[in-house]
Homo-oligomer: A and B are copies of this chain.
Amino acid sequence: MNQSQLCPRFEKAMDILSKRWTALIIYSLLPGPQRFNAIESFLPNLSGKVLSERLRELEAEGLIRRDVYPEVPVRIEYSLTEKGNALSPLLEGIGTWAKQWINPES
């Protein structure tokens, strides 16, 4: 086993995904577009400040899209891009693994 076997893309992907809250924010968008408040109420331990920050980072990484609808009041929705959506089988896989192997009490 040598260093060249470690794909730098894998390391970068893990850097993105392993950032605290990132996977859970993507997970919360799997059912479809959501408004800020809906994501916030889905993740009650996450502060609004950190959520804004993560949403901006995920938008910059091309994982989510921010759509502004010029209604009164203005409506802003976040949704997964194709790149973000491509993570859905992985996140579901983590869910399945967790269900089988993780005891939430321990």
Q: Is there an interface contact between A98 and B1, defined as CB atoms closer than 8 Å? A: no
How many chain copies? 2
Interface size on A, residues (CB 8 A): 46
Neighbour of A97 across the interface among B13, B27, B41, CB < 8 A = B13
Considering the complex, which residues of chain A in the window 54-106 have a beta carbon less than 8 Å from any beta carbon of chain B? 83, 86-87, 89-90, 93-95, 97-104
Q: Is there an interface contact between A42 and B7, defined as CB atoms closer than 8 Å? A: no
Bound form: Cα–Cα A63–B17 in Å: 20
Where the two chains meet, the residues of A that have a C-beta atom closer than 8 Å to any C-beta of B are 1-3, 5-14, 16-20, 22-24, 27-28, 31, 34, 38, 41-44, 83, 86-87, 89-90, 93-95, 97-104
Neighbouring B residues of A7 by C-beta, 8 Å: 95, 98-99
